[in-house]
Amino acid sequence: MADSPLAGHLPSKTVDEADEQPLYVSRKKIYPQAVKGRFRTIKWAVLFVALGIYYFLPFVRWDRGPHAPNQAILVDLANSRFYFFFIEIWPQEVYYITGLLILAALVLFLMNAVAGRIWCGYLCPQTVWTDLFYAVERLIEGDRRERTRRTKEKATLEIFTLKLLKHSIWLLIAWWTGGAWVLYFADAPTLVGQLLTFQAPPIAYIWIGILTFTTYTLAGFMREQVCTYMCPWPRIQAALTDEYALNVTYRYDRGEPRGSMKKNDALKKQGAPAGDCIDCNQCVAVCPTGIDIRDGLQLDCIQCGLCIDACNTVMAKIGRPENLIAYDTEMNVQARIEGRPEVRRVVRPRTLLYAGLIALVGAIMVAALATRHTTDLSVMHDRNPVFVRLSDGAIRNGFTIRVSNKNLEERRYALGVDGLQDARLDIVGGQLDPQGRPMVVVGPDQTLEARVLVTAGDAKHPSSTALRFTLTDIASGETAYANDHFMAP
Amino acid sequence: MSQETHGPVDSVTGVTTTGHSWDEIQELNNPLPRWWLWTFYASIIWAAAYCVAYPAWPLVSSYTKGVLSWHSREAIETDLADLKSLRAGMTAKLAETPLEQVGQDAELFTFARAQGKAAFGDNCAPCHGAGGAGAKGYPNLNDDDWLWGGNLAQIEQTIRHGARSTSDQGHQGSMPAFGREGMLKRQEISQVADFVRSLSGLPVDQGADLAAGAKIFADNCAACHGDKGQGNQDLGAPNLSDQIWLFGSSKTAIMEGLHNGRGGVMPAWQGRLDDTTIKALTLYVHSLGGGRAE
Ligand code: SF4
Ligand code: SF4
């Protein structure tokens, strides 16, 4: 061990030791300390942008004309439509949602390949809301020191008042979180009015209740336990990451052996190795999951970078260079110890693959959206009877057609059929267009179902002839096709 | 006993064991998690409260009713009433719109056909088939051949009062049993059967005496089926010159009909179905494909 290049650099507690915790421990309450710095600022910015979007997006309007809602993002369950700015999705097009989910997963993988659990530290809703709740707590009950002290004090009226205030504000945030959620499912301004006058549908109150409860408990009480015990991502992530992914890393090559400033100064004077870490525990104090990053990369670390900010403040104070803790890789720590050059590779097969897949899925979705039809035709052959013989010996087949008009104005379509020479087409209850073709009129953003009869003379027909139905928008000429068969004895 | 519940202290965890040992694996005497225990208590309270509130316990000839007096039958009735009130607007509109005019209102027409389709499935499908395709002896409602007429009013009359039914307003008239009653001899039946087949262009037996058949037809059948076998919808006499044969077009099938007579029965639905449902049914059957304008 003595001649290992690691001698004198190893963290005080090895990862193995850290693993030897009892399997069952009751929760240690964590009082993370406030911190200032680059990553904290980024986190604030992300928090404001993300919550701003979440809380106010339902109020953004988007004019779609007289027949459709003018809410930019709306999940219209009653009419099974999903509106997203200029996109309107029908139930049979939910594969767009599938595409979006695939994209989201790939982006998460890419983020992971580049910088580990960066999603967890900055963007995950659990992190964002917990951060907000911590901020409220600090504002009212004070920072780490005051809160730790208070837990030891006897309950006084003052403490009780502060707690009451904190929980009220928490509940208010939680309630508004649930409130914002339901606004995505109905016209937001109307629903707000209904909610205030208690006229909203019960389901709205139920959902607000559910989300108030989950926000309040998850962000107020469960906090980091969600990340360490409940969330599957740390486990999956651990299997997906590799040695090039950047992680919040304590550079023990530079920090160890750690010791108080005095002790390390003395060591330095003797010419003995001394690290930059002054064992001030600031990095532990600020950590929202209550861990010591100097124990190495661990499952509980959500990569929020707050310990980097804390340590950088300390380094500035003692006049040492920044980034004793930094986004780095264990591999580079080793490399520096062994005198090899550092490796930083963002472009690697893994990231290229993810990026490529993202581009591919994105391109497919854009292409699908761009070539999206605004008319849909589907045809279903009658099964009982498959065909009918008429009194003059002619053969007739019945079909049910379904025409979807995805445009926001009423459209008239002429229906035709090819494939059978003497075929005659009738739409039950239908009309004729000026040229005498059978016609259907479909309202804006609606689907029409109609019964269609195809009759052919009594000439001998093969038992099955391919048919092609053609639906043409009389005004624009847009055409939709559907294939089926004409059956005969 | 104490040995059982408070065994020796486990050296690793510092927790007493229960004293149970399986292959030297011991069970720690840890308390149940508090949240679990509370959930358990809450479940007990819930169960007790449920028994008080809802029907829960069987008695000898009845059951405990529960203080909320909730009843599954009532729940269904409420649901059905809700459904009715949901449809009330359209149903009322359908009730007051004359039969001939429903087709002009696309939305109402769609509603009527949907309602008619459901009623058809419940009441008519056993004989006429789910899609109205019929079967031997049960008319196909998709074709354009009608025994009692295929315009809206005629179809409604048939549904309302039936044919050869118990209703005195129902269609009457049946095919006599020419053979069994001794009105025609077997050879005459064979001759007229050949003639009838020739009316709709079907091949006849070699050497068949069509002239004799025509004579028998004129004397016995033309009164109902018409001179040319074109049928008569007032009497429910089928058109014999078309391609559609309710009981089959083979010579055997025709001779069987001549010998034993025919007379399918359609029940009267008035009184069993309400007027609006009959209206919806009429529109549905008419729209199957064979309905006549006049
Ligand atoms: S160790 Fe550092 S980066 Fe990881 S969760 Fe704690 S403060 Fe955040
Ligand atoms: S904040 Fe920096 S100096 Fe202080 S204990 Fe953590 S790593 Fe060491």
- Over residues A340-395, the pLDDT tens digits come to 998 888 899 999 999 999 999 999 999 988 888 889 999 999 988 899 988 888 89
Contact A427, A486 (CB under 8 A): no
- Which ligand has its closest atom nearest to the C-alpha of A306? 1
Please tell me the residue having the least CA distance from ligand 2 atom 2.
A311
CA distance A390 to B145: 7
Share of chain B above pLDDT 70, in %: 98
Residue A8's pLDDT is what? 47
CA distance A396 to A449: 19
- Report the residue from A22, A385, A458 with minimal CB separation from B140: A385
* pLDDT the model gives residue A7: 47
Nearest CA to ligand 2 atom 8: A277
**Interchain contact A389–B (C-beta under 8 A):** yes
Residue among A383, A385, A391 whose CB faces B144 most closely: A391
Ligand 1, atom 7: closest residue by C-alpha: A287
Answer whether A299 touches B (CB < 8 Å): no
Cβ A311 under 6 angstroms from ligand 2:
yes
- Identify which ligand lies nearest to the alpha carbon of A307: 1
Instruction: Among A253, A311, A313, say which to mutate for ligand 2: greatest number of ligand atoms within 8 Å of CB.
Output: A311
For residue B119 the two structure tokens come to 């009623």
Determine whether the shortest distance from the Cβ of A277 to ligand 2 is under 6 A. yes
Of B278, B269, B288, nearest to B95 by C-alpha is B278
User: What are the pLDDT digits (tens) for B101-149?
Assistant: 998 888 899 899 999 999 999 999 999 999 899 899 999 999 989 999 9
Hey, is the C-beta of A392 within 8 angstroms of any chain B C-beta? yes
pLDDT at position A393? 85
Omega within 30 of 0 (cis) for the link into A385? yes
> How close B109 comes to chain A (CA, Å)?
8
User: How close B290 gets to chain A, by Cα (Å)?
Assistant: 9
Closest partner residue to B131 (CB to CB) among A384, A396, A458 is A384
Which H or E element spans position A315?
helix A306-317
Nearest-Cα residue of chain B relative to residue A429: B103
Contact B109 A429 (CB under 8 A): yes
The answer to whether A91 contacts chain B (CB < 8 Å) is no
In 3D space, the residue among B253, B231, B251 whose CA is nearest the CA of residue B241 turns out to be B231
Cβ of A108 less than 6 Å from ligand 2: no
pLDDT band, very low/low/confident/very high, at A47 (cuts 50, 70, 90): very high
Edge-to-edge strands of the sheet including A479-487? A431-432, A438-442, A411-418, A464-473, A479-487
Instruction: Measure the CA–CA gap between A306 and A317, rounded to whole angstroms.
Output: 17
Residue A89: pLDDT band with limits 50, 70, 90:
confident
- Average pLDDT (B275-291) is 92
| Residue B4: pLDDT over 50 | no
Give, using CA atoms, the residue closest to atom 7 of ligand 2: A277
Taking CA–CA distances from B106, the nearest residue in chain A reads A429
Question: How far is the C-alpha of A145 from the C-alpha of A32, rounded, in Å?
Answer: 9
Q: Which residues contact B263 (CB under 8 A, 6 or more apart)?
A: B164, B174, B175
Ligand 1 binding residues, C-beta < 6 A: A 248, 286-289, 291, 293, 301-307
Q: Which of A136, B2, A88, A324 is nearest to A79 (CA)?
A: A88
Residue A451 predicted with pLDDT over 50:
yes
Report the residue of chain A nearest B109, measured CA to CA.
A429
End-to-end CA distance of chain A: 91
Looking at the predicted structure, is the pLDDT value of residue A326 above 80? yes
Q: Are A348 and A331 in contact (CB under 8 A)?
A: no
Say whether pLDDT at A199 is over 80.
Answer: yes
**Dist CA B114 CA B280 (whole Å):** 8
pLDDT of the residue at B36: 94
Confidence band, pLDDT 50/70/90 cuts, at residue A1:
very low
Q: Is residue B271 predicted with pLDDT exceeding 50? A: yes
Tell me the percentage of chain A whose pLDDT exceeds 90.
56
Instruction: Say whether the ipTM exceeds 0.90.
Output: no
In chain B, residues 124-183 whose CB comes closer than 8 Å to chain A: 129-133, 140, 142-145
A371 by DSSP, 3-state: which? coil
Gap from B133 CA to chain A (nearest CA, Å):
5
List chain A residues with CB under 8 Å of B109: 429
The token pair at A1 is 């061990």
According to the model, what pLDDT value does residue B13 have? 80
Q: Provide mean pLDDT across the span B146-163.
A: 93
pLDDT at B30: 85
Rounded distance, CA B272 to CA A284, Å? Answer: 81
Q: Are strands A479-487 and A438-442 parallel, antiparallel or unpaired?
A: unpaired
The reported pTM is 0.72
- Spatial distance between the Cα atoms of A424 and B146, rounded to a whole number of angstroms: 21
Q: Which of B264, B281, B260, B263 is nearest to B272 (CA)?
A: B281
* Gap between the Cα atoms of B156 and B85, Å rounded: 26
| pLDDT, tens only, A138-161 | 999 888 888 888 877 777 888 889
Look at the alpha carbons of B268, B270, B273, B275 in this order and tell me if their dihedral is positive or negative: positive
**Structural tokens at position A116:** 């580990």
* Interfacial A residues in 201-260 facing B (CB < 8 Å): none
Ligand of minimum distance to the alpha carbon of A127: 1
3 state SS of A81: strand
Is the per-residue pLDDT at A238 higher than 90?
no
A407 or B258: whose pLDDT is higher? B258
For residue A19, is pLDDT > 90? no
Contact A450, A394 (CB under 8 A): no
Residues of A in contact with B113 (CB under 8 A): 429, 451
Nearest CB to A398; choose among B113, B130, B142: B142
3-state secondary structure labels for all residues of B10-79: CCCCCCEEEEEEECCEEEECCCCCHHHHHHHHHHHHHHHHHHHHCCCCECCCCECCCCCCCCHHHHHHHH
Question: Is pLDDT of A3 > 50?
Answer: no
Q: pLDDT at position A190, please? A: 92
Interface check for B108 against chain A (CB to CB < 8 A): the answer is: no
Amino acid of residue A233:
W
Among the ranges A234-243, B27-36, B215-224, which has the highest mean pLDDT value?
B215-224
DSSP string over A76-122: ETTTTEEEETTEEE-GGGTHHHHHHHHHHHHHHHHHHHHHTTHHHHH
Mean pLDDT of chain A: 88
| pLDDT value at residue B5 | 52
Which residues neighbour A465 within 8 Å (Cβ) at sequence distance 6 or greater? Answer: A419, A420, A485, A486, A488
Stated as kind and residue range, the H or E segment containing A376 is: strand A375-381
Residue having the nearest C-alpha atom to atom 4 of ligand 2: A280
Residue with tokens 């707590």: A137
Q: Is B101 on the interface with A (CB under 8 A)?
A: no
Angle at which helices A38-56 and A125-141 pack, to 10 degrees? 110
Three-state DSSP class for A120? helix
> Rounded distance, CA B283 to CA A123, Å?
59
Task: Report CB contact under 8 Å: A396, B142.
Answer: yes
**pLDDT value of position A178:** 93
What percent of chain A shows pLDDT beyond 70?
94
- How many interface pairs between A and B have CB atoms less than 8 angstroms apart? 60
Interval between CA A145 and ligand 1 midpoint (Å): 19
CA distance B71 to chain A (A): 23
pLDDT, position B15: 84
Hey, is the C-beta of A22 within 8 angstroms of any chain B C-beta? yes
Q: Among the atoms of ligand 1, which is closest to the Cα of residue A292?
A: 1
Least confident of A1-5, A266-270, A368-372, A444-448: A1-5
How would residue A24 be classed by pLDDT, with cut points 50, 70 and 90?
low
Q: Which amino acid is at A256?
A: E
Per-residue confidence band for B263, with pLDDT thresholds at 50, 70 and 90: confident
CA quadruple B274, B277, B281, B287: dihedral sign: positive
Q: Compute the distance from residue A289 Cα to the ligand 1 centre, in Å.
A: 7
Residue for token digits 């507690």?
A13
pLDDT per residue over B182-213, tens digit each?
999 999 999 999 999 999 888 888 888 889 99
Q: How far are the Cα atoms of A369, A376, A472 from residue A477, in angstroms, in the given order?
A: 20, 14, 6
CA of A94 to the centre of ligand 1 (A): 38
Tell me what the mean pLDDT of segment A452-463 comes to: 85
| Closest Cβ opposite residue A390 in set B103, B133, B144 | B144
pLDDT (average), residues A228-238: 90
Helix, strand, or coil here: B228? coil
**CA distance linking residue A339 with residue A333, whole number of Å:** 10
